Amino acid sequence: MTDLQSKDYRISPWTAEFQDPAVEREYCRTVERDNARFLRVALFIWAALLLAFAPLDWFTLGDSEAFYWVSAARFVNAIAMIWLAGMLLRRPHWVSWGWPVTIAAILGYLLFFAYIRLIPDSGPLGLAVLMLLLFSLYVFIPNRVPLNNIIAGTGILGVLLTSISAGLDLLSLIYLAVLLVWPAGVGYFTALRIGIGNRRAYLLLLKSQRTNKELEQEIRRRQQLEKELKWQAQTDPLTGLFNRRQYELLFNQEMASARRNKTPLTLGLIDLDHFKAINDRYGHDLGDHVLCQVADILQQPLRESDILGRFGGEEFIIILPRTGVDQARVVAERMRIALSETIISHQGQTLVVSATFALAELAPEDKDINSVIRRADEALYEGKGSGRNCVVCVRAA
């Protein structure tokens, strides 16, 4: 949680909001769509209740001016609720802003003020409803606590002023104020508890997301490390070609496949001509550069299924699955010509290299790679003796 604390995720005990405005905005963006959906439902229920109780006004007031004033207040309130619910579909950020629902709620007090003025006998019922609304305001309306305080304060002050204008005595006024402040206070502290709890849950969510992200990064790092270790275990560190352990493993797999499917398999040895002279004359840095360049050139004519490895020193090995020795000769000739036609440059030095190729086809008596290499090595010796820069083939008996 150290990084979370460094961003000042402290929560105000009086507003149930993060003290850092940027953090509070981020939290509001996280929950605003859910809050907007909940608020739309609350607004529609509010509007429906306002309209549902209109017939009771008729029974109480009859066809009078007071009835029309109360009905107008109900209608204006209901229209405001429905309009706000519709706007929240397009502007869900209004629920985080808070002022639209605050204004709509304050507008709703017009109805209660009208009841107090126009229906004096409705005092106890109106008071009970208002006490319930003051509590519900904090618990069921997703709005900022400070703005809910403004709504509650406006309602309490409006009722008290209306009662004063109606001639309520001081003692009754104090009694009324206590009755109104009590549900507002309970609602306020309930809203604080809910708001602080929600934000603490948000902090736990951030912590879990951070932990998950760190775990994912660690998993990716380990996977990359395993991939690199596997690659290092399979390849020659200089050229990046398969090392002996890996190309022998792949040969055994291809040999089993060739015998199972009765397809040819050809192995080839490639030895760079006069490579020792290159090292002696130009140094091992250039020699290493030549080996890397040769490795790139040898890979170009190969298929994805073909295998190229470093046999050791200046020697390379190729394994060509489903390829007879005549087809392998064509591939080897391409390699040989490509090598002899490529000018290799390094630190101002240029040279052309050649190589001798020896190809041996898998024979029925071959038990492992060593017997095939032995025949290819004999052919390679023959090619060296006949002038180098050539391709020599050994067919299966």
Catalytic residues: 314
**Element of type H or E holding 358:** strand 355-361
DSSP state of 89: H
| Close Cβ partners of 341 (under 8 Å, ≥ 6 residues apart) | 352
CA distance 20 to 270: 69
| Non-local CB neighbours of 244 within 8 Å, separated by 6+ positions | 309, 311, 312
Residue 213: CA count within 13 A, CB half-sphere: 6
Cβ within 8 Å of residue 171, ≥6 positions away:
none
| Token digits of residue 219 | 């998993």
Among the listed residues 156, 80, 73, 75, the one whose alpha carbon sits nearest the alpha carbon of residue 119: 73
C-alpha distance from residue 126 to each of 112, 131, 188, 252 (Å): 7, 9, 21, 92
Which residues make Cβ contacts (< 8 Å) with residue 294, sequence separation at least 6? 272, 316, 339, 353, 355
Q: If residue 37 lies in a helix (H) or strand (E), which one and from where to where?
A: helix 21-52
H or E, element range at 281: helix 275-282
Q: CA 392, CA 376: separation in Å to the nearest integer?
A: 9
Q: Which contacts (CB < 8 Å, 24+ apart) does range 296-303 have?
A: 297/335, 297/338, 297/339, 297/342, 298/270, 298/335, 298/339, 300/338, 301/331, 301/334, 301/335, 301/338, 302/331
Q: Print burial letters for 335-351: b (CB count within 10 Å at least 16), e (below 16).
A: bbeebeeeebebeeeee
Is 376 within 8 Å of 269 (Cβ atoms)?
yes
